[in-house]
Structure formats: structure tokens, C-alpha cells
């Protein structure tokens, strides 16, 4: 199997939605992945906040890729379910979606995620997620 960073980066680069959103892979480590999202008008909702769908998408990907970092060789991952709670409106200079593995099983992996909004040196939690990810046969 290729290097973990290479493996996750290649998969991330193949995602059209992450490209469309302008999301960037920030950190890849065993059991944790971080993805940055920068606000722009195309990602906003009617009140000017970043749309919940954009925030949810990067957090879902962060959790999925965190699960992929611990998946057995030759397997890929898909999201089975998630629940997200928005703590405050999505206003920031940059958002960082952090996905962390809580429990990796043979078939299912449970992850926790958090989106942090950064305003200069101030950091605020925007949303939290719990996700269940399934290991599936892959093309790795």
C-alpha cells in the first residue's frame, strides 16, 4: 500500500466536490484527517453564512478519510450514517474540519468530527458530527 499521505491525497484529489468547494487537505495522520475550507460567496446561504451543506460535506470527508487511515489494506470506505449539530453560524476566515476515529472495527468505524472556525487567533466550534463509516472492497 502506498504511503498513508499519498493514499489519502490521491483519493481526496479524485473528489469533484472537494475541488468544487475549494477544500484543501491539511493533515493526514493515523486516525485523524483535517480539511480546510475557505469562505467565498458561492458557498453562502441567504444570510451570508457558509451553507450547512458545504460545512457538512467537508466534515463528512474528514471523518471518512480518518476512517480510511485505519482501514485494512485493500479496502475503501463509505459513509453509512452521520448526525451533525451546528453550534453557531458558519462565519470565519477559515474553517477546519477535523475527523477522528473513535473506534475502528472489522466492518464499521465510528468517527467524531468537529468544524473549527478561525478568526485570526480566535477559534470557535461551528459544528460537531458523529459518523459511522463502512469498509468496502476498494481499488487500492
pLDDT at 138: 85
Distances (CA, A) of 75 to 78, 90, 123, 132: 10, 34, 35, 16
Mean pLDDT per 10-residue interval, the chain, length 140 residues: 86 96 98 98 96 98 98 95 97 97 97 97 97 88
pLDDT at 2: 60
Parse the chain into domains and list their residue ranges. 4-137
Query: What's the pTM?
Result: 0.95
Q: Which pLDDT value is given to residue 75?
A: 95
Query: What are the phi and psi torsion angles at 65 (to 5°)?
Result: -70, -35
What are the start-end ranges of the E strands in 48-121?
A: 75-86, 94-104, 108-119
- From the number of C-beta atoms within 10 Å of its C-beta (0-12, 13-18, 19+), residue 107 rates as exposed
What is the CATH architecture of 4-137?
A: Roll (3.10)
Amino acid at each position: 500500500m502506498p504511503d498513508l499521505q499519498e493514499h489519502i491525497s490521491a483519493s481526496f484529489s479524485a473528489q469533484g466536490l472537494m475541488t468544487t468547494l475549494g477544500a484543501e487537505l491539511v493533515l493526514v495522520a493515523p486516525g485523524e484527517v483535517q480539511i480546510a475550507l475557505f469562505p467565498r460567496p458561492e458557498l453562502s446561504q441567504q444570510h451570508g453564512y457558509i451553507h450547512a451543506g458545504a460545512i457538512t460535506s467537508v466534515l463528512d470527508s474528514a471523518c471518512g478519510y480518518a476512517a480510511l487511515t485505519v482501514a485494512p489494506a485493500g479496502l475503501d470506505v463509505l459513509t453509512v450514517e452521520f448526525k451533525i449539530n451546528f453550534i453557531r453560524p458558519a462565519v470565519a476566515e477559515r474553517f477546519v474540519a477535523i475527523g477522528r476515529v473513535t473506534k475502528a472495527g472489522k466492518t464499521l468505524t465510528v468517527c467524531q468530527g468537529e468544524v473549527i472556525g478561525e478568526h485570526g487567533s480566535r477559534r470557535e466550534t461551528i459544528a460537531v458530527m458523529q459518523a459511522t463509516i463502512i469498509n468496502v472492497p476498494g481499488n487500492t
